[in-house]
Amino acid sequence: MVTTKRVLIVDDDIGIRRIVQLTLNAIADWEVLLASSGSEGVAIAETELPDAILLDVMMPGMDGIETFIKMQANPNTKPIPIILLTAKTKVSEQQHFNNIAIAGVITKPFKAPQLVDQICSILNWN
């Protein structure tokens, strides 16, 4: 029996949330949870325990890195793999991401049809 993956999208941009949700639903038939802020993302991750989290780096209030640190500090959410969604593509910024325990990075803008493959590749999902 194949179990449906549950993925939490944490992004302050409603357009990105909708595109990612539609893509993951249509291509992979995954259940998608949505959060519009870091604090909302932390709360949903704690209660829903998704299989993975796509986390925007640049958000007002609690940014993606702060959100990541908060999730890593919680023993319930620490094991959830987190993929950063970011428009930050400078080498120095990418190197910073390598120094934290994220599963991977997907840069914006991304191509919607390739998003599921990118996520599956990063997380070793068949």
pLDDT in tens, 32-70: 999 999 999 999 999 999 999 999 999 999 999 999 999
Res 101 pLDDT > 60: yes
Please report the domains of the chain, with CATH numbers, ordered by start residue.
Answer: 6-120 (3.40.50.2300)
Helix, strand, coil % in the chain, rounded to nearest 5: 45, 20, 35
Residue 94 CB-density burial (10 A; 0-12 exposed, 13-18 middle, 19+ buried) = middle
Given this model, what pLDDT does residue 95 score? Answer: 63
Given this model, what pLDDT does residue 31 score? Answer: 96
pLDDT band for position 91 (cuts 50, 70, 90) = low
Sign of the alpha-carbon torsion through 36, 55, 44, 37? negative
